[in-house]
Amino acid sequence: MRKKKTKKTTENVAEGALPVYLLDRDVQSRAKVLSNMIKQKRKEKAGKWDVPIPKVRAQADSEVLRVVKSGKTKRKAWKRMVTKVTFVGEGFTRKPPKFERFIRPMALRFKKAHVTHPELKATFCLPIIGVKKNPSSPMFTSLGVITKGTVIEVNISELGLVTQAGKVVWGKYAQVTNNPENDGCINAVLLVDENGKIHRLRRECPGEQCGAGVFMAAMEDRHYCGKCSYTLVFSKPEDK
């Protein structure tokens, strides 16, 4: 069987009104261009928040949570003991031991991390504010479980970094680079970009009625404040 190769011939259409059968000729190419633009923007957005360790081994529930038998005859098995390093906030209050489902041992609760600034080539012992994202599971994030690849928020006010407006930079994100349960400490790298600037995953609204503590929603091409409707639109400069 021979395949016939047909070449599409492009005819120059005169300027002016187009006939009905030519109206849909260019729709497919426009759709392709639009889809390519969207894919490119997604790639740029993904590359904007690159982390030192992009892929980590997922932690299974059976590995992180150990079944604890309870009850008078030890037949009930609805309690779980967390076997990994965790962070618990200062204002946390335990439930009565009888009703506590997830048990986080005091020996595995950490409050500080050794954070390295990649540009300054220096390591600081900084207090942990919270767990932003655990790549294994949202449940581990809510429990404050810290494993390799977890993004944590640390207090860098001791470093004395100041914004352009003169405000002291307080909390920034860092990614854990070691296995804390094996090493006995948390080692992390501060998330900074190519220019040495610290990554800003959330942007505070500069509006007068909002100020510090009110964060804007991050869209694909803009930042939007739901409180005062303040919008910042940004676009990539065209390459000449």
pLDDT digits (tens, 9 = 90+) for 26-59: 655 667 778 888 877 776 655 555 678 888 899 9
Give the bridge partners for 129, in sequence order.
none
Q: Is the predicted pLDDT of residue 200 greater than 60, yes or no?
A: no
Q: Which residue has the higher pLDDT, 38 or 160?
A: 38
> Are the beta carbons of 94 and 121 closer than 8 angstroms?
no
Contacts of 225 (CB under 8 A, 6+ apart): 205, 207, 210, 214, 216, 217, 231
What's the half-sphere exposure (Cβ side, CA atoms, 13 Å) at 181? 13
158 Cα distance to chain centroid: 24
d(Cα 148, Cα 57) in Å, to the nearest integer?
8
**Closest alpha carbon to 85 in 173, 148, 151, 171:** 148
The string of pLDDT tens digits covering residues 177-191 is: 999 999 999 999 998
Give the type of residue at 133: K
Give the type of residue at 41: K
The domains located in the chain, with CATH, are 61-190 (2.40.10.310), 203-233 (no CATH)
> Are the beta carbons of 210 and 228 closer than 8 angstroms?
yes
% of the chain beyond a pLDDT of 70: 78
- Alpha helices (runs of H) in 100-214, residue ranges in sequence order: 138-143, 180-183
* pLDDT of the residue at 86: 97
- Using DSSP's 3-state secondary structure scheme, residue 213 falls into coil
DSSP 192: B
